[in-house]
Amino acid sequence: MAALFVAISVLLSLLVTGATAGGYGQSPSSSPSAAPATPPPTPTPAPYSPQPATPKPAAHGGHDEKKLVVVRVEGLVLCQSCAARGSQSLDGAAPLPGAQVLVTCRDRKNHVMAYRRGVADHNGYFHAEFGVERADDFWAKDPRGACFARLLSSPDARCNGVTNVHGGMEGAPLRDEGKQWTDARGFRNVVYAAGPLAFRPGKCAPTYHY
């Protein structure tokens, strides 16, 4: 019995000695050899250097917008009175609603560049609008001189004879009456005037002289 007690005492002594040697029972924070953890250095951001602005491409294929123009043509189409038939007079003429006018513009090579059809309203007024173009692309770089208006058709069978009043048959030149503005897109709009142009009656009552 005494021998068993001695053996147990020796075993317990050995276990306590081994635990102490291995560091069991000690808190890591209480160990004198443990150094406090050092956080990693915070990276310093690179200094900001603004990037140069990317230049915007020029509008309309690099064209200078100051040279871009929207051409508009307006005028009147009338029915010549029987009293003035055969002359250049428009005395007594009346509006011709629905009459059509063709406005043609020529390019720098004097070829047809574009054309628009204008239809007269109940007052005989017509308006034709062209798209945005370079002024330099017109004949002689002048839209006014490069464009002209011709009578095209009349919806009234009683007044459908084409006259050359103000050039309605050969091509009416345009007038610059100072109508222009810059629209919301920044394009210059110019309105030119043509005519008035006239169809003539096909038949007129005979005039009797007593």
Summarised one tens digit per residue, pLDDT across range 149-175 is 999 999 999 999 999 999 999 999 999
Q: Label residue 38 by pLDDT band (50, 70, 90).
A: low
pLDDT of 71-106, one tens digit each? Answer: 999 999 999 999 998 899 999 999 999 999 999 999
What kind and span of H or E run contains 162?
A: strand 161-162
CA distances 45 to 17, 36, 42, 48, 52, Å, are 55, 27, 9, 9, 20
How far apart, in whole angstroms, are the C-alpha atoms of residue 204 and residue 80?
11
Global pTM value: 0.66
pLDDT of 110-127, one tens digit each? Answer: 999 999 999 999 999 999
Indicate the SS3 state at residue 61. Answer: helix
- Residue 205 pLDDT: 80
Q: Label residue 13 by pLDDT band (50, 70, 90).
A: low
